[in-house]
Amino acid sequence: MQLSLSKILGLVAILVAAVTLSACGGLLPKTSSLRAQQSLKQSTVSKLAGIGSSPGEAMMIRLFKQSSELEVWKRTKSGQFKLFETYQVCAYSGVLGPKVAEGDRQAPEGFYNITPGLMNPRSNYYLAFNTGFPNKFDRAWARTGSELMVHGDCSSRGCYSMTDEGIAEIYALARESFAGGNAVVQMQIFPFRMTPKNLAQNSANPNLPFWQDIKEGYDRFELSKTPPSWDVCEKKYVFDLKSPDGTPLDPVATCPARSGDTLLAAVTAKAAADDAQYRIEVAAIADRDAKAAAKKQAEADAEAAAKARGQAVGGFISGLFGGGSAQASEPPASDPVKIAPTPFPAPSWV
């Protein structure tokens, strides 16, 4: 079916208006079918150039639940990634810890690969992309859940919600990265920044072993500023580890021997230093908590003693002024009170 010239011109006008609006910093309404095609603002493109990157370069997302931060990192001319922007996460549901089962209202944690097929330009929210939950690790643990998104509209029931302006830019950055020939955008989701202090503050959390597992991926990125490759074996995340024949690892089988890992020495040294600091932090927290408990107990004991003294004094005063029943305070007539003589003090020479 051929379109009339007027319809063609109308479509062109709409597209030009959308591009112009986006380039000038405006945001297309949620009702617009072109919202997923909005161009990056010129200020965004200039900022990318300022860190030695461009829209088509590789991209990585890092998200921290506790501080509600989503970071976008872009590969630069040096081959390493630099932080491009930090966006505030508007809302997420649940508490610190991974998603386990459908309906638990938990937002996922772990390592995920965002692919073009996970982008949702027609989301019921402003825009959205799927995290890819459950991934290989989640399936190894029989974890269930679906439609775990990063989306707009600033509300969440198991997803990560952004402002519409935020998701529009993040979506466009990912779209342009795919257009530049990059197959995936790695997304790393952590409960908090994986420092010894933060881990120590959550040492009693049952998710600690899982967090210590994904910490290696965090450390590898911190050291190299390049996203580590990840896989699963022995039902745990492993990083920069490949099978001898290059095939994907069996998620429940024994992990293969590690070889040719140029980052291993640095990762091992960092892990040892962090573990030592973690133990110091845990001991300090235990000492602080013990002192706080002792202080609380001392205050409770002092309060109880003061209350007992108050009751004793009150009883004494009540007795002096005829407190209590007449029967208790007056002796029977048949049993007169015998008053003992007052003794004199003994002489000083005795």
CATH number of the domain to which 162 belongs: 2.40.440.10
Shared-domain flag, residues 256 and 168: no
Domain annotation covers residue 336: no
Distance CA 184, CA 114 (A): 5
Shared-domain flag, residues 133 and 71: yes
Residue 159 catalytic?
yes
Residue 113 has φ and ψ, to the nearest 5°, of: -110, 115
Shared-domain flag, residues 126 and 253: no
User: Where is the domain boundary, 191, 210, 240?
Assistant: 191
Per-residue confidence in pLDDT tens, the chain, 350 aa: 454 544 443 444 444 444 444 444 579 999 999 999 999 999 999 999 999 999 999 999 999 999 999 999 999 999 999 999 999 999 998 999 999 999 999 999 999 999 999 999 999 999 999 999 999 999 999 999 999 999 998 876 668 999 999 999 999 999 999 999 999 999 999 999 999 999 999 999 999 999 999 999 999 999 999 999 999 999 999 999 999 999 999 999 999 999 999 999 999 999 999 999 999 999 999 999 899 988 999 999 889 888 989 888 887 777 776 655 544 445 555 555 555 554 444 444 33
Which secondary-structure segment (H or E) carries 119? strand 119-120
Shared-domain flag, residues 95 and 119: yes
Domain annotation covers residue 61: yes
Domain annotation covers residue 83: yes
Shared-domain flag, residues 184 and 203: no
Shared-domain flag, residues 71 and 187: yes
Strand order in the sheet with 81-88: 81-88, 69-75, 59-64, 185-190, 110-114
Shared-domain flag, residues 165 and 198: no
In this predicted structure, what is the pLDDT of residue 344? 40
Domain annotation covers residue 155: yes
In this predicted structure, what is the pLDDT of residue 331? 52
Shared-domain flag, residues 228 and 284: yes
Residue 347 DSSP code: P
Domain annotation covers residue 66: yes
- Please count the structural domains in the chain: 2
Shared-domain flag, residues 68 and 94: yes
Residue 255 catalytic?
no
- C-beta atoms surrounding 160 within 10 Å: 25
In this structure, what token pair is assigned to residue 181?
């020939």
Which secondary-structure segment (H or E) carries 139? helix 136-140
In this structure, what token pair is assigned to residue 278?
């973690």
Shared-domain flag, residues 162 and 268: no
Domain annotation covers residue 22: no
Distance CA 192, CA 211 (A): 10
SS3 readout for 192-256:
CCCCHHHHHHCCCCCCHHHHHHHHHHHHHHHHHCCCCCEEEECCEEEECCCCCCCCCCCCCCCCC
Pairing, β 236-239 against β 230-233:
antiparallel
Given 24, 154, 159, 255, the catalytic residue = 159
Distance CA 247, CA 288 (A): 50
User: Where is the domain boundary, 252, 278, 295?
Assistant: 295
In this predicted structure, what is the pLDDT of residue 160? 94
Shared-domain flag, residues 265 and 291: yes
Shared-domain flag, residues 185 and 197: no
State the residue range of the domain holding 183: 56-191
User: Where is the domain boundary, 277, 295, 313?
Assistant: 295
Domain annotation covers residue 333: no
pTM of the full structure: 0.80
Rg from Cα positions in the chain: 34
Domain annotation covers residue 350: no
Given 24, 90, 151, 154, the catalytic residue = 151
